Chains A and B, each alone.
Chain A
Amino acid sequence: MPYDPTIAAIRYGYGLPAADPGSVAAMLDRLAGPDRALADWPAPNLAETVPLVQELGRLKVLRRNDPAQDKPYRAVAAELMQMTSVAGRAVIVRCMQSPDGFRERLAGFWGDHFTVVGRRPETRILPFVLLDEAIRPNMTGRFADLLTAVTLHPAMLIYLDQVSSFGPASIVGQRRKRGLNENLARELLELHTLGVGAGYGQDDVRQLAELLTGLTYDLRRGMVFDPRRAEPGAETVLGQVYDGKGMAPIRAALRDIAARPEVAAHLARKLAVHFVADDPDPALVAAIEAAWVGSGGDLPVVYGALLGHAAAWGPELQKARQPFDFMIAALRALQVPGEDIARMGFGPLRRMVLEPMAAMGQPFKTPGGPDGWSEAAEAWITPQGLAARITWGMEVPPRLVRPLPDPVDLAQRALGPMASERLLWAVARAENMREGVGLVLASPEFNRR
């Protein structure tokens, strides 16, 4: 089976230096084991945020009429922000420190596939809890279980407005004159499963939206099914009829949708595009798709088909590292200890990590919409984006590591045999260490994978 330790680190991890797993089989074995990074660098879970979210809601109402409540409101909002900051740092540190880089990259892939964005103080933590509570525990199992866990998680129900969708003929719908919200149903078919090119129609979206009514979220209990919101009667989605009460028809529909061949085709291509090339080898996509269909969406088998294909190990670095990947790879290459990031004051973290990522085009965990980030290299290596990478590479490392590494050593350490003659020639001629380090970090080979 093809394998290369440098490619394994750069294309399927967060870059060099990295411990060499030794083979594809060993990479898959590690995935089959426990999620150590989640245990070693935990983040707050949804339940822990609930008391604060409740308190924030209470103060929000009070402060409308009582300016004296403004200060406690801000204090609670700041506390929630602190929790979000802990969660955000945990994600960064796991990617920096974990010896199982492929697992972290998969978490990144699925976190983007099932994008959730929080824009208010009480929702900013949602992408992180979705990642830890629904995605990571299920991304090494079956896709049907992953899809179900994500779709039913409060973070997704909130982000795609399911919590405010009501069966028009349901008890609550009738009494409060409320009706459907199609948002989750549409994105579930378009983005999460079938793909926009698949043969579903507006009726399927509508019927699925009706089927999903009843799903909502309760601060105390998490996801709940409220039969008083559920549209009565059967629904037909993609030709299948779903009838009956409670969660059973919803779970059945998610299972059936997950098993559709369009999902295999959509996700096989998306995996190949994310990991290997913006325009991947059709044979690679076909191999992944065949493994998906053959295994019924058993994700380790699917990952095995990706890693087992010769096209996955081609020497040409065809993808651009997204800004988050660039940032992690740079911190790793500079050998910044994870604890530094975990303990860093918020101001320096913002100036040296978060704002630069935004300037590179990728504000942390905040894509513009539910379709997540672009995969195209051209979307990232723009004049503005590259300017921000050059600037970071030239200016920030001296503030993070003292003394700065020798630029030639850095090139070897971060790129191994991928360091080009051109880069080594240029690095040796930099006017000072700072600019030499900047050259390495701004180089095409460091910004590709």
Chain B
Amino acid sequence: MDRRRFLIGAGCSVAAHPLMTTLTLAGAAGLGENRLIVVILRGAMDGLDVVQPLGDAAFAGLRPGLAGGALPLDGFFGLHPGLGGLMPLWTAGDVGFVHATSTPYRDKRSHFDGQDLLEAGTGMDVAPGAQRDGWLNRMLQAVPGLSAETAFAVGREAIPLLAGAAPVRNWAPEQKLELSAQSRLLLEHVYHDDPLFAGAATEAMDLAADLGEARMGEGLMAQAVPKFADVDRLVAFAAQRLRGDTRIAAFSLSGWDTHRGQQAAIAGPLSRLERVILQMQAALGAQVWGKTVLMAMTEFGRTAAENGSRGTDHGTGGAMVLAGGALRGGRVLGRWPGLAEAELYDRRDLMPTSDVRDWAAQAMQGLYGFDRAVLEGAVFPGLQMTGGAGLLR
């Protein structure tokens, strides 16, 4: 985590630290005007439920207890009604999907290894957890002179996707504490010899937590809070930064592990995803939204057939959700492999026909003009980009 290395020794006073001033003033010039938002959907979103292949003869038979009520997209696919609020954006070309896609992760179907690989951006030749930085950070590393403000990891959860040598900023809601100047100096003194603490400290002292109203929606003894209060805060913060110097934001949405009673279980996560996209569009305003691509991706898809408890188990191929005014949407991208038993991966999962990393690389190329060699080397080692989908307007 190199935000650590970057911040070591950087005290509370910017003026006293020319290094920090330089970096701050460098601004986001290197990335231009376009914005990229990456949302990690933790728990394995069921792509076949979100974007339903209604035109596939095998589909209805595989999922008698799940399908229903889908909104027609393009004559073959239908959208889960839980994302129905996105239909106007689909029509306007501001929302699109990729189907039958996955990371290179195969066979063990472990959430935790799957998420490691998704965020590390590596192939199966690298052991999960062995790559210490995330692909979005490696993209930032390819652009010299960016300020830490260029990229924000938003929310309380760690986002390995953005961890690495390039400086990034972190933000979680409900944080404000005034430390006395003396306490600050003394804390810096106490943290001086411990790199882990020294690295986190400067930013920590700028944040600090308001214990009064913190996160009543979480934890064992949670209390009722407005349904979308948490995502609204994340989106409002991210949008405010993205309207300014920030170009990259990442956060995660959980709750997609729908082993049982999926119809009810997926409703909440879908409504939150829909809310994120709609609020983001509203909060960014037309001009910035027009320069933005949001990509929501998950560690893998789920079984083609519903399981014994009206849910689905861990699978392979899945879907991505794309949004933004810079997107050439209104399409379901990716080659459809079919759902007949012989067409499935391992005779149970949707067969992946593309690599999630390929779509991310195409977006980064389109938004920021990266060389293919950088994307296939430093950012996604081992990736072979296909291109040609014309992802952006």
Contacts and interface: CB of A to CB of B under 8 A. Distances in A.
B196 interface: yes
A355 B259 contact: no
B190 A444 contact: yes
A35 interface: no
Interface in B303-335: 307-309, 311, 313-314
Interface stretch (B12-20, B29-37, B167-175): B167-175
B144 interface: no
A190 B183 contact: no
B187 interface: yes
A394 B184 CA distance: 12
Interface residues of A, number: 77
B176 to A, nearest CB: 9
Nearest to A388: B209
Nearest to A203: B346
B219 A422 contact: no
A37 B290 CA distance: 61
Contact of B197 (A190, A201, A447): A447
A179 interface: yes
Contact of A361 (B156, B191, B220): B156
B56 interface: no
A15 interface: no
A186 B64 CA distance: 24
A386 B208 CA distance: 8
B174 A181 contact: no
A369 B309 CA distance: 19
Contact of A368 (B187, B254, B346): B254
Interface in B91-128: 107-113, 128
B81 interface: no
Nearest to B261: A164
Nearest to A369: B111
A387 B113 contact: no
B204 interface: yes
Interface string A421-433: 0110111011100
Interface string A409-449: 00000000000101101110111000100110011100100
B163 to A, nearest CB: 8
Contact of B190 (A178, A365, A423): A423
A384 B179 contact: no
A140 interface: no
B204 A384 contact: yes
A358 B64 CA distance: 40
Contact of A422 (B43, B192, B208, B311): B192
Given A358-B218, A444-B191, A391 B107 contact: no
Nearest to A85: B221
A356 B1 contact: no
Contact of A201 (B43, B107, B179, B308): B107
Interface stretch (A141-149, A287-295, A297-305, A346-354): A346-354
Given A379-B158, A390-B187, A422-B193, A88 B220 contact: yes
Contacts of A379: 158
Contact of A391 (B172, B177, B314): B177
Given A366-B218, A430-B183, A395 B200 contact: no
A270 B201 CA distance: 29
Contact of A381 (B190, B192, B197): B197
A117 to B, nearest CB: 9
Tell me which of A374, A383, A394 has the highest count of chain B C-beta atoms within 10 A of its own C-beta.
A383
B203 A165 contact: no
Interface residues of B, number: 68
Contacts of B346: 202
Contacts of B209: 356, 359, 384, 387-388, 391-392
A444 B177 contact: no
Contacts of A351: 211-212
B221 A166 contact: no
Nearest to B113: A196
> Which of A85, A377, A444 has the most CB atoms of chain B within a 10 A radius of its CB?
A444
B308 A383 contact: no
B58 interface: no
A122 interface: no
Contact of B308 (A165, A352, A431, A435): A165
B216 interface: yes
Interface string A161-178: 100111010000100011
A363 B215 CA distance: 9
A181 B259 contact: yes
A320 interface: yes
B211 A396 contact: yes
Contacts of A357: 219
B254 A363 contact: no
Contact of B220 (A173, A365, A381, A388): A365
A183 interface: yes
B197 A444 contact: yes
A164 B309 contact: yes
A359 B174 contact: yes
A145 to B, nearest CB: 26
A387 B211 contact: no
Contacts of A369: 42-43, 111-112, 257
A37 B109 CA distance: 39
A124 interface: yes
Given A379-B158, A383-B200, A439-B186, A355 B219 contact: yes
Given A181-B259, A364-B220, A439-B183, A384 B308 contact: no
B179 A394 contact: yes
B90 to A, nearest CB: 31
A346 B220 CA distance: 12
A331 B135 CA distance: 41
A182 interface: yes
Nearest to B186: A426
Contacts of B179: 390, 394
Interface in A39-94: 81, 84-85, 88
Contacts of B177: 387, 390-391, 394-395
B313 A182 contact: yes
A183 B313 contact: yes
Interface string A315-333: 0000010000000000000
A409 to B, nearest CB: 17
A371 interface: yes
B275 interface: no
A418 B196 CA distance: 18
B378 interface: no
Contacts of B216: 350, 355
Q: Which 7 A-B pairs have the closest CB atoms?
A: A363-B219, A179-B308, A164-B309, A383-B203, A386-B204, A444-B194, A387-B204
25 contacts: A85-B221, A88-B220, A180-B307, A180-B313, A182-B259, A186-B110, A190-B110, A355-B214, A355-B215, A356-B209, A358-B215, A359-B156, A365-B220, A378-B196, A381-B196, A383-B3, A384-B175, A392-B209, A426-B186, A431-B180, A431-B182, A435-B182, A444-B190, A444-B194, A444-B197
Given A355-B211, A439-B183, 6 more contacts: A182-B314, A357-B219, A361-B156, A378-B196, A384-B175, A387-B177
